[in-house]
Amino acid sequence: MPICTIHLLSLSVSLPSFFAILSSTPLQPLTIARVLRWIILPTSLSTSPLLARNIHWDILLILPSPVPLPQPLQAAIQHHWSIQAGVPARLLKHYDAKNQRLLTPEKGDVPPLTGSLEKGPLMSESSQGLELSPELLRWIEGAPEGRDAVSMLNLLSFLPGKKEEYFKYGQAFADGAGSRRGGNAKIVGSVIHPERSAGEESVVSGNERDTEPWDEVALAHYPSLWHFADMLASADYQAANQRWRVGSLRDTLILCTSEVALLDWREKGGVKL
pLDDT tens figures, 111-155? 999 999 998 899 999 999 999 999 999 999 999 988 999 999 999
Q: Name the average pLDDT for the chain.
A: 91
C-alpha separations of 126 from 49, 121, 122, 133, 169 in Å: 23, 14, 12, 5, 20
pLDDT top residue among 151 and 263:
151
Cβ–Cβ under 8 Å, residues 179 and 173: yes
| Residue 265, pLDDT score | 53
One-letter identity of residue 153: L
pLDDT at 202 over 50: no
Determine what percent of the chain falls in helix, strand and coil, rounding each to the nearest 5.
35, 25, 40
30-72 confidence digits (pLDDT tens): 999 999 999 999 999 999 999 989 999 999 999 999 999 999 9
CB 43 within 8 A of CB 251: yes
Give the CA radius of gyration of the chain.
18
Quickly state the pLDDT bin for 193 (edges 50, 70, 90): confident
Nearest to 155 by CA among 244, 30, 44, 66: 44
Q: What is the pLDDT of residue 267?
A: 52
Handedness of CA 4, 25, 222, 100 (dihedral sign): negative
DSSP 168-208: HHHHHIIIIITGGGT-EEEEEEEEE-GGG-TTSS-BTTB--
Low-confidence winner among 132-146, 214-228, 258-272 (lowest mean pLDDT): 258-272
Torsion sign across C-alpha atoms 220, 247, 216, 173:
negative
Mean pLDDT, rounded, for 168-186? 97
Question: H-helix or E-strand containing 73?
Answer: helix 71-74
Among 49, 44, 39, residue whose Cα is nearest residue 7: 49
Domains and CATH numbers, the chain: 37-52+88-258 (3.30.70.100)
pLDDT at 262: 59
